[in-house]
Amino acid sequence: MGILCDINLLFQETNMNFLLLLGICILAGTVGARIFQRLKIPQVVGYIVIGLIIGETGLKIISATTIEFLRPFTYFALGIIGFIIGGELKTDLFRKFGKQFFAMVIGEGIGAFLIVTPFAALFIWFMTRNFALSIAISIVIGAISSATDPASTIQVLWEYKTRGLLTTAVMAIVALDDALALTLYAFATNMADIFIGNSSISISHSIFHFLYELLGAAALGIIFGYILKKAFRYLNEHDKMLPFSIGLILVTIGLSNVFNLDIILSSMFFGITTVNLIPKRSEETFDLVKKFAPPIYVLFFVFVGARLQLSHLTLMIIIIAAIYLAGRSFGKIIGAYIGAKISGAPDNVKKYSGLCLFTQGGVAVGLSIMAGRKFSPEIADIIITVITATTLVVQLIGPSFVKYALKEAGEIGLNLTEEELIACYKVGDVMDTNPPIIRTNAVLGDILKTFSKNDYFAYPVADSENMLAGFITFQEVKHILTTSGLDMLLLAHDIMNPIRDIATPQTPLKEAFEQMKQTNANFICVVENTQSRKLAGFLELNKVNMKIAEELITRKKKAEGIA
């Protein structure tokens, strides 16, 4: 306890507490993510667990007041996520899959609502014998159950470099999900008001408010998309594109707050407008924003974990939360499947999309807080505690379900760049394991035959036991042929070059590429291990580059459902 008091005192007294806190959150979150990655668990879980440890549920290093003060970082992260999601939603995608997307959004959202509401109502009525109370609470949490957290879901897609029909469908669903959640929430709160005799706000007013949020967010995003398009005529320098784009995202977020619009929706429409108005130039912008964003994401998810507190849990609330979790999960799985089946979605999308929709976060918590302000403390405490408790659970287990679904669908690793693919490989993955070998006692005639029958630029030289001795390139052969003398008496051993660099099958391919770059070579000999000179294979740069290019094309075709 003494150490904990000292830490809290440090944050209270030091003038650098704000920067110190941010630094600790980013470093601790990164370490937590690395630990969970080693356990084959998505890194977003590590961020949230670190937040739990240092937040309200754990050590309380981050207080509720601090989290409230740092809310702009949450908005910033949500704005970036919305913008990047929008960048994936091109018009040709909606022309091709729009029917499926909307059917699945309606299916999974309504499915969760229809299962959570009646079962929660039955249990609450059984416990309280208060019909109005049970309907009011259950219909509100049922509406909130339709919301899916885009941040955690999208983070898993990015982490595992996924690409394909399921990835596309999930991104579209979580992007459009907010609009449905807001609609159901407006309906549910009005119905709850009627049942408890507090219908001060009409249904028409709620519908107007929903349309205002949706259309206002769309208008704001579209306006800033056009502004970015105009600005790109004058922004040719790369170092100007990122700050201008981030500046516009921040202005979009700020105006969304001023006009009480949904941040994710307005930023998403900004991204959609940008990618469709300037498809080629926007690619670099989205890449730059993605590279800029990781520290913001770390802070966002650490704060998500830090703000979760479970101080008001009772047996009744625990059972309601369990009903909510089970009903929401089955509702999303069944609803997404029905929507996909009706709209003719591919099998992978039908089977696995529901598993990708378990997480809930900012939208659900925000709606529960809004409901808490609207209703009496008796109702508010139950709604807020149930949503907070279930958010903790699904934020911890949801990302693993997303990973599982994408793995089963075969979409993990299909969105790798050339550099990322190289980083995944070891030399043994791409080397020629049976290269043409020139023996040390081979005469010039045999060497020329080897060159004429194969298309390598260089060849390893080894003895009869395959022990590496050197290498011969076309330059050595050319030099011998243009000189007079005892050409035909020369052996491979006499004209070969000594070995400069070697690799083993376990050497990272990126490291082998660096070795070749440093020695200005386009090949490297591969031996069994560092203690042995026994030849295991040969790596030639041009052939490896061809293999990598072919693999990228294969992955792209697979992602598009061609292969």
Residue 471 DSSP SS3: strand
Name which of 237, 227, 232 is nearest 270 in CA terms: 227
Position 563 scores a pLDDT of 44
Neighbouring C-alpha atoms within 13 Å toward the C-beta of 319: 11
| Angstrom distance (rounded) from CA 349 to CA 353 | 5
| Angstrom distance (rounded) from CA 481 to CA 475 | 10
Position 223 scores a pLDDT of 94
Per CATH, which fold does 422-559 belong to? Answer: CBS-domain (3.10.580)
Residues 6+ apart with CB under 8 A from 299: 22, 25, 26, 29, 70, 73, 77
- Flag whether pLDDT at 123 surpasses 90: yes
- Flag whether pLDDT at 201 surpasses 70: no
Neighbouring C-alpha atoms within 13 Å toward the C-beta of 62: 30
Domain boundaries, the chain: 74-414, 422-559
**Assigned CATH for 74-414:** 1.20.1530.20
Residue tagged 């000292």 (tokens):
6
Angle at 192 between CA 106 and CA 124, to 5 degrees: 95
- Flag whether pLDDT at 232 surpasses 60: yes
The average pLDDT across 106-118 equals 93
Position 198 scores a pLDDT of 62
Q: Which two tokens stand for residue 85?
A: 């999601």
pLDDT tens digits, residue range 342-386?
988 888 889 999 999 988 876 777 677 667 667 777 787 788 788
The average pLDDT across 521-525 equals 86
pLDDT tens digits, residue range 435-471?
888 888 888 888 888 888 888 888 888 888 888 888 8
DSSP β-bridge partners for residue 461: 438, 470
- Flag whether pLDDT at 172 surpasses 80: yes
- Flag whether pLDDT at 559 surpasses 90: no
% of the chain residues with pLDDT over 70: 90
DSSP β-bridge partners for residue 527: 535
Q: How distant, in Å, are the alpha carbons of 386, 427, 516, 562 from that of 540? A: 60, 11, 10, 30
CB 536, CB 505: distance < 8 Å: yes
| Angstrom distance (rounded) from CA 275 to CA 284 | 11
Position 562 scores a pLDDT of 46
Position 370 scores a pLDDT of 66
Share the mean pLDDT of the chain: 82
Name which of 487, 454, 459 is nearest 473 in CA terms: 459
Q: Give the phi and the psi of residue 538 in degrees, each rounded to 5.
A: -145, 140
Sign of torsion, CA 155 227 266 302?
positive
| Angstrom distance (rounded) from CA 495 to CA 472 | 7
Residue tagged 């408790």 (tokens):
389
CB 178, CB 262: distance < 8 Å: yes
Position 385 scores a pLDDT of 82
Q: Which two tokens stand for residue 68?
A: 């409230």
pLDDT tens digits, residue range 58-73?
888 887 788 778 778 8
Band of residue 108 on the pLDDT scale cut at 50, 70, 90: very high
Better-predicted residue by pLDDT, 7 or 419 = 419
Hey, what amino acid is at 364? A
Position 375 scores a pLDDT of 76
Q: How distant, in Å, are the alpha carbons of 97, 241, 285 from that of 278? A: 21, 13, 10
